[in-house]
Amino acid sequence: MSDLPPLRNRYRATALFHAGLAVVILLFAGLTGGGMPKAIVIAVSYFVLATGWSWFRFRQQEARDRKHGS
């Protein structure tokens, strides 16, 4: 485990992180001459799936912590 304190709002931090990576996907496609419509679909899909999965895992961890009284 890390010595750093936990994030105050990890849901927002995760959404911002994945939004940043989605922008990187768009920048990469634009700089390499890729098709932007396809890149937009990929970037949005990535953002929705990755953020949803992260939030799902956070909720599982929170439920597990409540169950075990941590």
CA nearest neighbour of 47 among 24, 26, 22: 22
**Among residues of the chain, what percentage have pLDDT more than 70?**
96
Domain contains 5:
no
Domain contains 19:
yes
Q: What would the pLDDT profile of 48-63 be if each residue is shown by its tens digit?
A: 999 999 999 999 988 9
Domain contains 37:
yes
Domain contains 27:
yes
Q: What is the pLDDT of residue 3?
A: 77
What 3-state DSSP class applies to 1? coil
Predicted TM-score (pTM) above 0.85:
no
Strands (E), 1-70: none
Domain contains 51:
yes
Q: What is the count of structural domains for the chain?
A: 1
Q: Which domain holds residue 56?
A: 10-68
Residues of the chain with pLDDT under 70: 1-2, 70
Domain contains 16:
yes
Domain contains 32:
yes
Contacts for 37 with CB less than 8 Å, ≥ 6 apart: none
Q: What is the pLDDT of residue 50?
A: 97
